[in-house]
Amino acid sequence: MEIGKKAIKKLIVLCTILVGAFFIQARYVSLDEEFARIPAGKYTLGEKKHRINPLHQATVSEFFISKTETTNRLFSEFVKQTNYVTDAEKFKNALVFYPGLDEFEWSEDTTAYWRYPFGVNAGGIENKMNHPVTCISYRDALEYCKWAKVRLPTLSEWEIACRANTKTKYFWGNTTKTIYKYGNIWRGKNHRAIDSSEDALYTSPVGSYPPNPWGLYDMYGNVFEFCSDKPKVLQKYTEIACARGGSWWCSEKSCGYFNSVDIGSVNIRASFSNHGFRVVRLN
């Protein structure tokens, strides 16, 4: 009788583990719970006298955008199933940021790519599967989207989701004082030295900071996020893509793109250690 009880207990434990494993797997395969619904409507975007993103209105249909940036875990599954080779692996030209560099300076590292976003000597992503994937190009992001049956957000969709029905530069207002609560950005006066208040020297796990009012994490900081289109003033440049939101390397003293207004640009084949993406679910 005692043996029977032990067997039942083992069976219960085993079932619990299997059920837990199922839900974890389901989460990373379907991602249904990871998308936020953004209502259809007419939204005010941009900023007065902004050269790239002037004040304007945009009308969008309802869409569903991922609550977090695409992770190393998800990108690794894509590579595992497709044997995809990224641009950084092909061209050996990844561009890496790290403490000790001057402002707006980066290093070209032939060993860096998404598995080793800061080069082989800095170690891989084995313990960072819940961090946003980086060192990928815009073209790489598009290939992932094809496989995952999703797409990149448009500039308008990204901004609407980021603003969360506000009309200010940040979803809490127009001051940068709250940025450290909501985003992983560089805290130091420059990148030559590491400030003692830094909470993340590089990327942080997605969702480490509180979300915006619509439930989206890391809209500011962590990694720049690719968008699918370009503003009018940049449409003539066929070899660039746009990215928004700033990154862990941006600070109040430099870059400063961690807001709802600014739009960055990058070559479609460039692979930076502070660029990633989030996705929109297809209808």
pLDDT digits (tens, 9 = 90+) for 209-241: 999 999 999 999 999 999 999 999 999 999 999
Query: Are the C-beta atoms of residues 259 and 220 closer than 8 Å to each other?
Result: yes
pLDDT > 90 fraction of the chain, expressed in percent and rounded: 73
Compute the distance between CA of residue 51 and CA of residue 47 in angstroms, rounded to an integer. 9
C-alpha triplet 128, 75, 246: angle, nearest 5°: 70
The neighbour count for residue 171, using CB atoms within 10 Å, is: 22
The mean of the pLDDT values for the chain is: 86
Tell me which H or E stretch contains 161: helix 155-163
Whether the per-residue pLDDT at 208 is higher than 70: the answer is yes
Handedness of CA 277, 241, 118, 114 (dihedral sign): positive
Task: Tell me the range of 16-20, 24-28, 130-134 where mean pLDDT is highest.
Answer: 130-134
Tokens 């590292």, located at residue: 109
Query: Token digits for 120?
Result: 């082989």
Coil vs helix vs strand at 245: coil
Beta bridge partners of 224: 275
Query: Are the C-beta atoms of residues 209 and 217 closer than 8 Å to each other?
Result: yes
Backbone dihedral region for residue 220 (phi beyond 0: left; psi -120 to 50: alpha; all else: beta): beta
Look at residue 28 in the predicted model and tell me its pLDDT.
Answer: 36
Going by pLDDT thresholds of 50, 70 and 90, the confidence category of residue 196 is low
The pTM of this model reads 0.86
Top-confidence residue, 122 or 107: 122
Do the bridges between strand 224-227 and strand 275-276 make them parallel or antiparallel, or are there none, so unpaired? parallel
Look at residue 30 in the predicted model and tell me its pLDDT.
Answer: 37
